Amino acid sequence: MADFTLVIGNKNYSSWSLRPWVWMKHLGISFEEIVVPLFQDDTDEKLDSYFSNSKVPVLIHDDLEIWDSLAICEYLAELYPQQGLLEDIQARATMRALCAEMHSSFICLRSELPMNCRRTPSAVILSDDCLADIERIQNLWRHAGNFSDGKGGYLFGSFSIADAMFAPIVFRFDRYCVPLEDSASRYVKLMLKHPAMLAWLESAKAEQEVIESEER
C-alpha cells in the first residue's frame, strides 16, 4: 500500500487534523501532506476540490477520499491490522466508544480551550460546564485502563486510535495548565513525549498564521 495524501489544516490549531496525522505517523505510514491554512480568504477555494464540505482532514488513497478523522483512523487500522487494532474484542469496543464520545462531545471544552499547540502555558478560568467535560474525560481515561493490555502507558496500554483521538486534548490540558489527577497527568506527559506529537509541535511552532478567534 502506498500513495496516501493527507490534507490538513494549520498544525497549530487544527485539532481534527492532528488525529489522523499522529495515527499515520504512529503506524509508520508514509504520506504526502498538504497543509491548507484555515480561515483565510482562499481556504474554501483550496478545499473546493475535495468532498469534505471545506473541512479538513481528508485522506486520499488511490481513488478513495475519506473526509472524517475517525473514519480515516479506522480505515488505516483495517489496512494495518497487525499494528492498528487492539486484539481483545471488549477493549476494541470500549476503545470505539471512547473515540465516538470524543468525536461528538466536549463542546464546552473545545470552545473554551481551543487547541493552540504553541501557546505559552498558563491557566485560564474554567466554567462549570468545562470542568464537567474535563472530569468526564478523566473518567473515560480511567475506564480505558480497565481494558489495558499492560504493554505501555497509553489509554489501553498499547497506543491505539483512542490516543490519536484524544491527542488534541493532551495539548489543551498541557497548554492551559488544567489541574489533573495523577494518572491523567502521567498520561499527558507520556503523550507529549511521543515522537509524532513532538514532530507536530515543532511544525506548529514554525507556522506563521495567527487565527485570532482561537487565541485565549
Ligand X SMILES: N[C@@H](CCC(=O)N[C@@H](CS)C(=O)NCC(=O)O)C(=O)O
Least gap, CB of 141 to ligand X (angstroms): 20
Nearest-approach distance from CB 204 to ligand X, in angstroms: 13
Give least dist CB 153 to ligand X, A: 26
Closest separation between CB of residue 70 and ligand X, Å? 6
Residue 16 or 173: the one with the smaller Cβ distance to ligand X is 16
Give yes or no for a contact between 172 and 115, defined as CB atoms under 8 angstroms apart: yes
Q: Which is nearer to ligand X, 38 or 95 (CB)?
A: 38
The minimum distance between CB 15 and ligand X, in angstroms, equals 5
CB-CB contact of 205 with 138 (8 Å): no
Binding site residues, ligand X, CB under 6 A: 9, 14-16, 38, 54-57, 68-70
